[in-house]
Amino acid sequence: MKPTTDTTELLQSRAILYAGISAVFTSPVEKKFQSLRNGEFRNQIKDAAGLYDEFLGNDRERVQNHVAAMLDSFHKEQNILEYEYINIFGHTLSKKTSPYELEHLQNQEIFYKTQSLADISGFYKAFGLQVGAKERVDFISVEAEFLSYLIVKELLAHQKNLGVEKIDVTRKAQRDFFNDHFAGWTTQFAKNVIAHANISFYHNAGKYLQQFIDNEKTYFKEDET
């Protein structure tokens, strides 16, 4: 099964946009966030957003607009990014902007939270991945990076002609993890970030996440039909 150009470019765009989310919502002191200082990576995110909007035929708000606004403010606001990150996502603020899935579960009973944590870890382990000791498996950056990884796996399955079964496994994992974990809490999380952000970078980061999730819901819904 040879991938079409459209298939390849759409998968690449989605993988880059998830990688962008992973970087943006990491602490500014972390190496992953510092990758945004790389002009090539910033351009990749901008280009990916543009292609993504075209492929999905977006006539609503465009992901590209929010990505461009966010990255344009990156250098202007870089001296206050760390302070604002702590202000929005730190311990002093409400759990509404916590970047961890378990803090947004409606059921906060320890058994339910333990089961949810085990389910997230199970997805990672199924693909031979293990989260570093200093990171939580339900951190938005980790979850977004995992989805990016799954999309790259699907792309490679296409390119290497590994067959429909291999492609379907990675696509199903994307859909299941997105629906069971990522989309549910990050939808409201994005709205809360937009509401609490005091600077353009994080306001538009929330918009980027919000619009991208909305479009991904459509993407997976159409994929099921």
CATH number at residue 162: 1.10.3480.10
Give the pLDDT of residue 57. Answer: 76
Q: Is the pLDDT of residue 162 over 90?
A: no
Identify the residue with better confidence: 77 or 224: 77
Q: Is the pLDDT of residue 93 over 70?
A: no
pLDDT band at 199 (very low <50, low <70, confident <90, very high): very high
Q: Which domain holds residue 110?
A: 5-224
Q: Which two tokens stand for residue 69?
A: 């606004």
Q: Is the pLDDT of residue 2 over 50?
A: no
Give the pLDDT of residue 221. Answer: 83
- Percentage above 70 pLDDT, the chain: 93
How much is the average pLDDT of 95-110? 86
Separation of alpha carbons 198 and 213, rounded Å:
22
Mean pLDDT over each residue of the chain, to the nearest integer: 90
Give the pLDDT of residue 55. Answer: 86
Q: How many H-runs (helices) and E-runs (strands) does the chain carry?
A: 10, 0
For residue 31, how many C-alpha atoms fall within 13 Å in the half-sphere facing its CB? 0
- Please list the residues that pair with 100 across neighbouring strands: 139
Q: Which two tokens stand for residue 41?
A: 């990576």
Separation of alpha carbons 5 and 177, rounded Å:
26
Give the pLDDT of residue 139. Answer: 96
Model confidence over 21-75: pLDDT tens digits?
A: 999 999 999 999 999 999 999 999 999 999 999 888 756 678 999 999 999 999 8
Give the pLDDT of residue 1. Answer: 40
Q: Which two tokens stand for residue 143?
A: 């979850």
pTM, 2 dp? 0.93
Give the pLDDT of residue 91. Answer: 66
Identify the residue with better confidence: 132 or 225: 132
Query: Which residues are CB-neighbours of 105 under 8 A, at least 6 positions away?
Result: 112, 113, 116, 185
Number of domains in the chain: 1
DSSP state of 35: G
Contact 71, 43 (CB under 8 A): no
pLDDT band at 5 (very low <50, low <70, confident <90, very high): low
Cβ-based burial of 222 (10 A; exposed 0-12, middle 13-18, buried ≥19): exposed
